[in-house]
Structure 1
């Protein structure tokens, strides 16, 4: 597995996440966010010769980290299309699925990808370079109400209305193309720590560009169709909305409410919660990997 770039990304809660899958040596598993391959490598270590692993990643750069292992099938696409591709490749029902959501360290550190305000680059932020919509498209085309909504909901930006109006006013004279053109607007509007403010805005734009919450919901709706009864599901989230989506879906299964003569409307979930509360990274891990501080790991099982 020498192809893997150890500097690409540090996997969060590596042992905890893979332990939670309860790996069977001859099982079939999916890693929905291959990235640097950390979680996939650990899964492969625990699989026997008859085991299989399917890994998804929409970022073309991730393919450079693939190990030479016949048990691994790599699918260079968004995990929101998991069911479609698993059927295409005749993959049987899974024994477990892992999804480490969010952005890899590599994406933040690659200046030309436009994910970080630390570098000058085009306002891109696409995880999948094949898609058309970029951060610049959002800034130049969304109306003030749309911009306010994403900054408020996805970035928790306190002055989201003021920011949205400033963006619309600015682009009337000059379109947004580069990170510096956006920072010129953000700088006078930032309150407190400017870096935190920039991070909130960039996070909101990234989530909108990549339709991250929509993709997550699409995957959740497919779980019952692609995982066998008794199979484990492990999600690591980094955003409060992501965590809420996963928590609520595990709770009610996204099922339509059923009428009960005694208790009224009730929901029946096809999931059993393995942990009622999310698992968080250890203090030691949080010290050497600050990104893990906001991580929450939730585990469920298909009934």
Structure 2
């Protein structure tokens, strides 16, 4: 019941558990006073009996398909499993039959000390009433006069989302924004987590000043300038040197973009995408303008001939001088 209570109090309006409300194994096990193995056993018990339905399983980058066992960062981070509390069909039918009949025994068991009707009890106790004597007691460790150093209350709730909400596609400009971007990188990359946010900001400041986003930093650290991924290897022993070495591969001696193999005159991936979209929009605008002019001159032979003459002159002016 302690585990069920943690699930019931961490749901949204649709009665599905919400990780933002602390519906993760670590938080629920700590608040219920049980271990992770006990929590997993109770969840399996509920799933087998149809009292709980797993909506989505929990995943991590290391075991998620398409990440090469955590070598590639898909940007999703750790995802907690979501559940929905339910009532088996046979139990719901029996409750409905009892409600249509006298239902005296059920109301007697479910009524509280004040004699309230069991149907007035809020969900989920409305469908599955519980005796007051079965309410789990808090786990107390009696160690005499002294308090065990391992028994203490949780001072702050565990984080169930990235520490920073800095967007992955925005370029940080100020020191505070760079620090927020580094906090997100640390929260999503176990290698960078070994560095403090300020130390990581000092190593990545040159990239941020060149217009890099969080996605660009991930690409730079895990891909060569030509676009190929770095060969898989063990975790780096000295993380600052590892970060500095991979960043320098994308830079020239004067700390500007243009390392060997950097595409499109030394542009970061986000800058390449922006340049591509700009070129596509420019070409679409030119085609739309040409089509509008052609439609305007349709049916007018003189206007059509003049338009064709202008296009021919423009094409000849762009052609090399020695071309026939």
TM range (shorter): under 0.3
If asked which structure has higher relative contact order (CA below 8 Å, sep 6+), I would say 1
Q: TM-score, normalised by structure 1?
A: 0.23
Q: TM-score, normalised by structure 2?
A: 0.22
Structure having the higher Rg:
2
* Greater strand content: 1
